[in-house]
């Protein structure tokens, strides 16, 4: 018996309530974990940027390097409610519930009530969608905008009405301010519209493109004002392309040597390396073009290697083995029990069910074709770059409605006695499930890195005992992958405890395993200087300055070492180099005045 209207409402309201409760509980649990109060990597960068915006600094000093929409929204929230991570969590949780609602609407309209309810249930319990409600990150915002885009795109393609195309373009423009590769979808909508409505779609497609451009334009205008340069959204595109197509690439976010994985350091290193190679100052678009050129040159010269990388990227997209980007969900779930343990973890189930629907319904459902094409378009927009869990996540917006429709599609095939199509759909789904469950052999064990990150978080929180415990766990597993910051912070803690031999050992390990880290060389020199060995501090400091020539602190410290060694001329020269970078730096000005006054 088909459920009544009241039963339907109860089911949907119950699913929405469950979605909010699950996310709210995890947000509260997250803020009780060490990670909650100490954002890392992208989350830290977004948090710092948002606080700057909250303080009234609406313009950057240069073009956007990261996507801007989420930091500006977070900055407004900080301005209104204060610097509170719980507020960001609540905001993300609400976005997550709205995403569940939009996905339910898509599946309900396209495939019926049962498909809508199952889609909503899958979205409620999909682990990454629950997890990303908590950190200071843009994922929930991106998922909401992309799901809203899909809803409006289906409506626009079905009715060919101007208002739907305008709304669809506006939402896609906003999504482009979260993920720049969204612009790839802008090519698909006019093509699908022309396929369905021919010349009658041309005017509306133009309105769609115009609306998208209008909503991207504020970012483009900002970039032109501050940099006098044409950067549509942000200028990390070229370097991201190089990450996925370089001698060190493996299909994931494997950074090339000499580039910091910290977003602030990454932007500085990317620009500095491009300037050093070209021998001139570069605009942001030129920095991006430099790295894009290197990526394309490498791809052209190594076609077989590119095919192998493409295979790895496709495999990462369909595999349950996630390439972590910022947070390792498996590690967090294993060491900090939470409601995440009640969710289902990987993409394999959703992908399997979605493929079943695609094969089962075929061309009989226009919505299936449209959603499938958009899923393929999103995947194609990522493959030239690299694949991580966060880059993989948005594709579930297209897969979830298809996955929710799998059971009704199977019922229809059974009722119509289409046994051959049922077997084909089941075989395709099981075959893809088998591939998804296979472990990718090139994945590096990141457990040491996870413990290293946790150690650095404990150190920043002043929990020295926990920091050392986590650091030594990481060290026992793999000093080469644990991260230099854990070793450096561990050395500081050992120094405060008076364990000089331990300090020396940790910094030696950091120097040997991270020779391209300027922070390691600086702290190695600092240790020498504290011991009174200024001659021994000189070479490490010179290396630190060479690796990070824009770091004013390194120049000031190097000048101090030269002064202690009696080389006043070199001390003055280095101070002047630092002042060329930061003319109003009070510390450098005071040091130079004291040096000249002696």
Model confidence at 317, pLDDT cuts 50, 70, 90, reads confident
Q: What are phi and psi of 467, to 5 degrees?
A: -65, -45
Q: Averaged over 300-320, what is the pLDDT?
A: 88
d(CA 517, CA 40): 18
Q: What is the pLDDT of residue 597?
A: 62
Q: What is the pLDDT of residue 442?
A: 60
Record: fold of 529-598? 1.25.40
Query: pLDDT per residue over 217-263, tens digit each?
Result: 999 999 999 999 999 999 999 999 999 999 988 888 888 887 878 88
Q: Kindly list the domain boundaries of the chain, sorted by start residue.
A: 5-231+321-437, 446-514, 529-598
Residue pair 399/318 in contact by the 8 Å Cβ criterion: no
Same fold for the pair 446-514 and 529-598: yes
Q: What is the pLDDT of residue 211?
A: 95
Query: pLDDT per residue over 97-149, tens digit each?
Result: 999 999 999 999 999 999 999 999 999 999 999 999 999 999 999 999 999 99
Model confidence at 536, pLDDT cuts 50, 70, 90, reads confident
The one-character DSSP state at 479 is T
**Beta strands of 70-147 (E only): which ranges?**
none
Query: pLDDT per residue over 250-284, tens digit each?
Result: 888 888 887 878 887 888 889 888 988 898 889 99
- Both tokens assigned to 329: 């969900």
Q: Averaged over 568-590, what is the pLDDT?
A: 77
- Both tokens assigned to 376: 């393929």
d(CA 149, CA 386): 24
User: Does 392 or 597 have the greater pLDDT score?
Assistant: 392
Query: pLDDT per residue over 26-74, tens digit each?
Result: 999 999 999 998 998 899 999 999 999 999 999 998 999 999 999 999 9
* Radius of gyration from C-alpha coordinates of the chain: 26
Model confidence at 474, pLDDT cuts 50, 70, 90, reads very high
Query: pLDDT per residue over 411-460, tens digit each?
Result: 988 988 888 888 898 898 888 888 777 776 666 678 899 999 999 999 98
SS3 content of the chain, % helix, strand, coil (to 5): 75, 0, 25
Model confidence at 167, pLDDT cuts 50, 70, 90, reads very high
Q: What is the pLDDT of residue 440?
A: 65
- Is it the case that residue 5 has pLDDT exceeding 60? yes
The one-character DSSP state at 444 is P
Question: From the centroid of its chain, how far is CA 323?
Answer: 11
Q: What is the pLDDT of residue 443?
A: 60
Q: Averaged over 365-382, what is the pLDDT?
A: 90
Q: What is the pLDDT of residue 519?
A: 85
Beta bridge partners of 344: 126
d(CA 586, CA 598): 18
Residue pair 592/579 in contact by the 8 Å Cβ criterion: yes
Helices 534-547, 552-564: inter-axial angle, 10-degree rounding:
150
Nearest in space to 18 (alpha carbons), one of 116, 93, 74, 84: 93
Q: Averaged over 340-362, what is the pLDDT?
A: 87
Q: What is the pLDDT of residue 444?
A: 67
- Is it the case that residue 598 has pLDDT exceeding 60? no
Q: What is the pLDDT of residue 2?
A: 57
Q: What is the pLDDT of residue 441?
A: 62
Q: What is the pLDDT of residue 596?
A: 66
d(CA 533, CA 538): 9
Q: Averaged over 189-199, what is the pLDDT?
A: 90
Record: fold of 446-514? 1.25.40
Model confidence at 172, pLDDT cuts 50, 70, 90, reads very high
Q: Averaged over 147-167, what is the pLDDT?
A: 94
Residue pair 136/43 in contact by the 8 Å Cβ criterion: yes
Report the percent of the chain where pLDDT is more than 90: 52
Residue pair 126/343 in contact by the 8 Å Cβ criterion: yes
Listed in sequence order, the DSSP H helices in 5-40 are 5-32
User: How many H-runs (helices) and E-runs (strands) does the chain carry?
Assistant: 30, 0
- Is it the case that residue 163 has pLDDT exceeding 80? yes
């Amino acid at each position: 018996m088909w459920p009544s209207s009241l039963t339907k409402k109860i089911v949907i309201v119950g699913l929405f309530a469950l979605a909010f409760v699950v996310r709210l509980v995890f947000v509260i649990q997250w803020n009780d974990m060490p990670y909650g109060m100490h954002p890392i990597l992208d989350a830290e960068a977004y948090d710092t940027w948002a606080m700057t915006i909250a303080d009234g600094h609406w313009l950057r000093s240069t073009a956007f390097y990261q996507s801007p929409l989420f930091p500006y929204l977070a900055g407004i929230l900080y301005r209104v409610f204060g610097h509170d991570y719980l507020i960001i969590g609540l905001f993300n949780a609400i976005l997550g519930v709205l995403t569940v609602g939009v996905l339910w609407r898509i599946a309900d309209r396209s495939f019926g009530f049962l498909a809508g309810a199952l889609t909503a249930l899958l979205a409620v319990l999909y682990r990454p969608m629950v997890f990303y409600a908590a950190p200071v990150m843009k994922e929930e915002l991106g998922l909401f905008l992309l799901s809203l885009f899909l809803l409006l795109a289906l409506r626009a393609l079905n009715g060919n009405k101007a208002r739907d195309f305008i709304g669809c373009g506006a939402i896609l423009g906003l999504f482009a301010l979260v993920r720049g590769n969204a612009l790839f979808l802008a090519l698909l909508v006019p093509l699908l519209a022309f396929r369905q409505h021919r010349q009658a779609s041309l005017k509306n497609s133009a309105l769609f493109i115009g609306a998208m451009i209008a909503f991207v334009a504020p970012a483009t205008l900002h970039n032109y004002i501050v940099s006098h340069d044409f950067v549509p959204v942000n200028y990390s595109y070229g370097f991201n392309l190089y990450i996925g197509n370089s001698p060190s690439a493996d299909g994931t976010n494997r950074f090339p040597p000499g580039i910091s994985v910290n977003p602030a350091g990454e932007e500085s290193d990317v620009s500095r390396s491009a300037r050093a190679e070209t021998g001139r100052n570069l605009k942001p678009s030129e920095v991006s073009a430099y790295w894009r050129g290197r990526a394309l040159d490498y791809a052209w010269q190594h076609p077989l290697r590119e095919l192998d990388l493409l295979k790895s990227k496709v495999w990462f997209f369909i595999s349950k083995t996630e390439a972590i980007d910022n947070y390792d969900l498996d590690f967090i779930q294993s060491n900090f029990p939470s409601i995440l343990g009640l969710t289902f973890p990987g993409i394999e189930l959703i992908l399997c069910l979605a493929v079943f629907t695609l094969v089962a319904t075929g061309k009989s459902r226009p919505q299936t074709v449209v959603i499938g094409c958009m899923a393929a378009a999103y995947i194609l927009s990522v493959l030239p770059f690299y694949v991580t869990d966060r880059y993989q996540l948005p594709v579930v917006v297209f897969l979830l409605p298809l996955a929710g429709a799998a059971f009704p599609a199977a019922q229809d095939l059974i009722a119509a006695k289409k046994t051959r199509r049922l077997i084909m759909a089941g075989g395709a789904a099981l075959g893809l499930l088998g591939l998804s469950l296979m472990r990718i052999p090139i994945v590096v064990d990141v457990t040491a890195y996870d413990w290293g990150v946790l150690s650095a978080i404990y150190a920043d929180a002043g929990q020295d005992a926990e920091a050392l415990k986590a650091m030594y766990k990481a060290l026992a597993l793999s000093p080469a992958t644990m991260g230099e910051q854990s070793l450096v912070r561990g050395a500081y803690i050992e120094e405060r405890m008076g364990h000089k031999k331990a300090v020396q050992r940790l910094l030696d390990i950091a120097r040997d395993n991270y020779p391209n880290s300027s922070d390691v060389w600086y702290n190695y020199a600092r240790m020498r200087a504290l011991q009174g060995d200024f001659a021994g501090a000189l070479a490490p400091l010179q290396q630190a300055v060479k690796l990070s020539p824009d770091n004013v602190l390194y120049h000031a410290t190097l000048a101090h070492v030269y002064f202690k060694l009696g080389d006043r001329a070199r001390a003055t020269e280095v101070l002047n180099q630092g002042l060329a970078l930061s003319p109003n730096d009070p510390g450098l000005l005071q040091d130079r005045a004291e040096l000249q006054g002696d």
